[in-house]
């Protein structure tokens, strides 16, 4: 059975290309899935063979650790700017998320109001 070795949601194209290249260098057969039109499916890189999946996860973990060592920390202001930019780029997703949060909040508070 196929195993997910790397999630592609919110991953820069350059990083995803590096992961693909890393797997290809080690002769690990993989395939990709997209999130689909409505962004509800799992976008990721999958490996069918269990042994190759273990190796792929190990290689990806090493790559991610190396990237984390060279990454610059994100400040709260950068995070807010990124969230606003994402909301501007995906207004429908933002609106549905906002409605869902408000709905859950209303259901949570409703018993205390009555």
Return mean pLDDT, the chain: 93
Domain 3-70 fold is: Alpha-Beta Plaits (3.30.70)
pTM: 0.66
Interatomic CA distance for residues 4 and 71, integer angstroms? 24
Question: For the chain, where are the alpha helices, taking DSSP H only?
Answer: 13-25, 50-70, 76-89, 91-113
Interatomic CA distance for residues 35 and 23, integer angstroms? 21
63: tokens are: 């790559």
* pLDDT value for 74: 80
* Whether pLDDT at 114 is above 80: no
* pLDDT value for 21: 97
Q: Smallest Cα–Cα separation from 92: which of 56, 39, 51, 26?
A: 39
**Domain boundary assignment for the chain:** 3-70, 76-113
């Amino acid at each position: 059975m196929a195993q997910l070795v790397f999630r592609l949601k919110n991953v820069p194209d350059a990083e995803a290309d590096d992961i693909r290249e890393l797997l290809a260098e080690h002769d690990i057969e993989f395939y990709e899935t997209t999130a689909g039109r409505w962004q509800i499916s799992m976008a990721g890189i999958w490996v069918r063979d269990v042994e190759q999946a273990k190796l792929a996860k190990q290689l990806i973990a090493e790559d991610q650790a190396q990237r984390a060592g060279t990454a610059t920390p994100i400040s709260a202001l950068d995070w807010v700017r990124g969230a606003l930019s994402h909301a501007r780029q995906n207004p429908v997703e933002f609106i549905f998320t906002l409605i869902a949060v408000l709905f859950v909040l209303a259901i949570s508070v409703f018993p205390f109001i009555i």
